[in-house]
């Protein structure tokens, strides 16, 4: 699973080709977008590339383009997600919206106007990234029939992601989750485009048949769901310096994670509920919530669910040439779970 | 210039193929997006189709797909533009964001939460439309070399549009327009994707050479700029029942139109400025502003500029097979101008 330079090359070419130095507004927007596309762990290109290689894929140039497109798609969704969530920071630094907000403030705009400027920049930058991602796949150079299937997969993943994001906002703002819905929604937000899509695209580009492509799709969904459950757990129990985000933010936002959804069904909920969605929750409160999530069996329940997903995922790929490669990904998810337990 | 059924058919197929009845969130989002795509004047598909036909284009099925994609692109940009502008209405009815806001309010959410839900829906619906538009072009069935050029044109138009939108927001929120900038920005927001893009796509799909494609591109830019200037004039001088939007809204928003940009340079500006960007401007104020824009020579200046653009546009297409078709479009813009004068 060494990191190939090629998806980074494809992205570098994309940003070089799209630059328009003669337009100051475009130059600022483009620079902020390129900045947003960098510094991540490149999980999606890595997953795609490792699977494509393990399956004996030969369209190497097209693979680099698709890998770059996956990272760009992720950038687009993150930039728009931050607008939806009202976040100005990402990994502790101003995101696209935050960068433009700060620019407006420096030029003397009030906070409300600055925020509107930031929102505009975030929406527009995400739009350019989204269109860029689809175009990179459309022009990746693979045989036309494969390109068509890749575009279908990309489109499908986007539909699932958009619906899950909307459901996520609905649940956190309006409430009323049905049993199991929070887990499905939370997984749908990332499993579809971050795990299932890279694996299905790798299968298609490597010439796998429909049966194997579907198996990898199911594997990706299960892996992605396990990953999301682990993320939910670490969002409360992880240490900030390790996860890179505050362990308080999920609680403060009142995020309808798998933990919260399960906790609702336990007899500790009356004591947990007052902390959820309160913007002034502090470290002492967090410790109390952690203890309650232990007592109620919620933490164990969600961890067991994640490990179960990972086991079902492992069953999907038995005997496939890609099995050993993907087992490394599974191990990365479950190892973290057990160390947290 | 009769309306062909085919772009509507292409869009109907697009929405039918994208429907997912088993996901209530997706179904609501998709229905709102389809609703947003209907009821417009289909200016872009009509312009594209009339030019494609006049140039003897033969890829009729691909043309229908491209025409549909142009309308879908317009829908995407309008839906996102409404979020950027904070508008909940479009043509007097709730837009995507407004529809979801109303839904949240009915379910008991407060106004702030309802607005965040509406914003999320608008961003996500626009994303699906944007990706759908690129995909429709990528899969339109024209020869691969043409598809590549169509995608390049689409991408270019989006970059120009995004930069112009960002500049527009910057000017209206932060101010500081340079001479001529307001006209360029205002034109760039619509001329690139609504006029230049349909004409260049028509030229490429009809097999025109680079020279003619460039001529049509310049024609489209000039026509689009004239159209936008006329729109700015009608935004203040038009009757609401005819333009479909209130003649007060440009003033109330403090929109940096060509009229305002010119008025700034005249000796009436001190008397006009107090009305600009004031949310409580009424019909009496509007009459006063109209009178001042007359006295200052602003109205005549902008009308003359628009007519000059239309004349330069006419010069671009002399002797082309498409000339008579496009003269009809030019006449529609200038006739309105003169009747308003």
pLDDT tens digits, one per residue of A172-217: 887 777 767 878 888 888 999 999 999 999 999 999 999 999 999 9
A292 band by pLDDT with thresholds 50, 70 and 90: very high
Tokens 């899969």 appear where? Answer: B139
Q: Do B83 and A29 touch (CB under 8 A)?
A: no
Q: Chain A contact for B197, CB < 8 A?
A: no
Averaged pLDDT, B43-48: 97
What is the per-residue pLDDT across B80-92, written as a single tens digit (0 to 9) for each? Answer: 999 999 989 888 8
**Residue B4 clears pLDDT 70, i.e. is over it:** no
Tokens 């007899």 appear where? Answer: A267
Q: How many CA atoms lie within 13 A of A72 on its CB side?
A: 30
Q: Write the DSSP assignment of B204-230 as a string of letters.
A: HHTT--HHHHHHHHHHHHHHHHHHHHH
Quote the CA–CA distance of A199 and A325 in Å, as a whole number: 12
What's chain B's average pLDDT?
91
Interfacial B residues in 73-112 facing A (CB < 8 Å): 76, 80, 83-84, 86, 104, 107-109
Q: Which residues contact A144 (CB under 8 A, 6 or more apart)?
A: B144
Asked if B271 and B292 count as a contact pair (C-beta separation under 8 A), the reply is yes
A340 band by pLDDT with thresholds 50, 70 and 90: very low
Asked if B125 and B117 count as a contact pair (C-beta separation under 8 A), the reply is no
Q: Among residues of chain B, what percentage have pLDDT more than 90?
A: 77
Task: Return the SS3 of B90.
Answer: strand
Averaged pLDDT, B59-76: 97
Q: Do A130 and B128 touch (CB under 8 A)?
A: no
H-run or E-run covering A89: strand A89-90
Contacts of A155 in chain B (CB under 8 A): 18, 131-132, 135
What is the per-residue pLDDT across A45-99, written as a single tens digit (0 to 9) for each? Answer: 999 999 999 999 999 999 999 999 999 999 999 999 999 999 898 888 899 999 9
Contacts of B80 in chain A (CB under 8 A): 123-124, 127
Q: Among residues of chain A, what percentage have pLDDT more than 90?
A: 77
Q: Above 0.90 for ipTM, yes or no?
A: yes
Q: Do A113 and B84 touch (CB under 8 A)?
A: no
What is the DSSP-derived secondary structure letter of residue A245?
Answer: S
Quote the CA–CA distance of A325 and A242 in Å, as a whole number: 25
What is the DSSP-derived secondary structure letter of residue A267?
Answer: T
- Give pTM, 2 decimals: 0.93
What is the per-residue pLDDT across B229-268, written as a single tens digit (0 to 9) for each? Answer: 998 898 899 876 555 566 788 888 888 888 998 998 999 9
H-run or E-run covering A93: strand A93-94
Q: Rounded to the nearest 5°, which phi and psi values hold at A93?
A: -120, 160
Neighbours of A93 (CB within 10 A): 12
Asked if B71 and B42 count as a contact pair (C-beta separation under 8 A), the reply is yes
Nearest one of A157, A98, A166 to A133, comparing CA atoms = A157
Contacts of A74 in chain B (CB under 8 A): none
Q: Chain A contact for B169, CB < 8 A?
A: yes
Nearest one of B314, B289, B315, B304 to B337, comparing CA atoms = B304
Q: Chain A contact for B113, CB < 8 A?
A: yes
**CB contact burial A297-325 (16+ within 10 A = b; e otherwise):** ebbebbbebbbebbebbbebbeebebeeb
Q: How many CA atoms lie within 13 A of A278 on its CB side?
A: 12
Separation in Å, CA of A84 to nearest CA in chain B:
5
Size of interface A-B (CB pairs under 8 A): 163
Tokens of residue B336, six digits: 């309105």
A245 band by pLDDT with thresholds 50, 70 and 90: low
Contacts of A23 in chain B (CB under 8 A): 163
Q: Among residues of chain A, what percentage have pLDDT more than 70?
A: 94
H-run or E-run covering B35: helix B24-37
Quote the CA–CA distance of B91 and A241 in Å, as a whole number: 50
Q: What is the dihedral of CA A153, A156, A157, A162, to 10 degrees?
A: 160
Quote the CA–CA distance of B15 and B38 in Å, as a whole number: 12
| pLDDT at site A341 | 42
Task: Return the SS3 of A59.
Answer: coil
Asked if A229 and A154 count as a contact pair (C-beta separation under 8 A), the reply is no
């Amino acid at each position: 699973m060494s990191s190939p330079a090629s998806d980074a090359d494809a992205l570098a070419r994309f940003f070089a080709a799209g630059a328009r130095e003669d337009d100051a507004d475009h130059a600022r927007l483009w620079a902020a977008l390129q900045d947003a596309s960098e510094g991540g762990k490149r999980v999606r290109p890595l997953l795609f590339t490792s699977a494509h290689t393990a399956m004996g894929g030969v369209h190497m140039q097209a693979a680099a383009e698709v890998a770059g497109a996956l990272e760009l798609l992720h950038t687009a969704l993150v930039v728009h997600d931050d607008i939806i969530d009202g976040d100005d920071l990402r990994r502790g630094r101003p995101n696209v919206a935050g960068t433009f907000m700060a620019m407006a403030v420096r030029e003397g705009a009030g906070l409300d106007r600055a925020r509107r400027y930031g929102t505009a920049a975030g929406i527009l930058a995400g739009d350019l990234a989204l269109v860029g991602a689809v175009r990179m796949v459309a022009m990746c150079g693979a045989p036309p029939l494969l390109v068509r299937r890749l575009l279908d997969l990309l489109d499908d993943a986007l539909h699932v992601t958009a619906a899950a994001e909307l459901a996520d906002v609905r649940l956190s703002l309006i409430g009323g989750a049905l049993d199991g819905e929070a887990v499905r929604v939370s997984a749908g937000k990332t499993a579809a485009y971050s795990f299932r899509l890279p694996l299905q695209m790798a299968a298609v580009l490597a010439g796998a048949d429909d049966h194997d492509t579907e198996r990898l799709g199911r594997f990706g969904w299960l892996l992605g769901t396990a990953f999301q459950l682990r993320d939910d757990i670490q969002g409360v129990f992880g240490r900030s310096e390790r996860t890179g985000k505050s362990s308080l933010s999920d609680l403060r936002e009142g995020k309808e994670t798998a933990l919260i959804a399960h906790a609702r069904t336990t007899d500790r909920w009356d004591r947990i509920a007052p902390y959820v969605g309160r913007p002034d929750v502090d470290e002492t409160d967090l410790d109390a919530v952690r203890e309650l999530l232990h007592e109620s069996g919620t933490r164990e329940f969600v961890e067991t669910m994640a490990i179960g997903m990972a086991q079902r995922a492992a069953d999907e790929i038995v005997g496939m040439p890609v099995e050993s490669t993907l087992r490394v990904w599974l191990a990365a998810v479950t190892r973290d779970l057990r160390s947290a337990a």
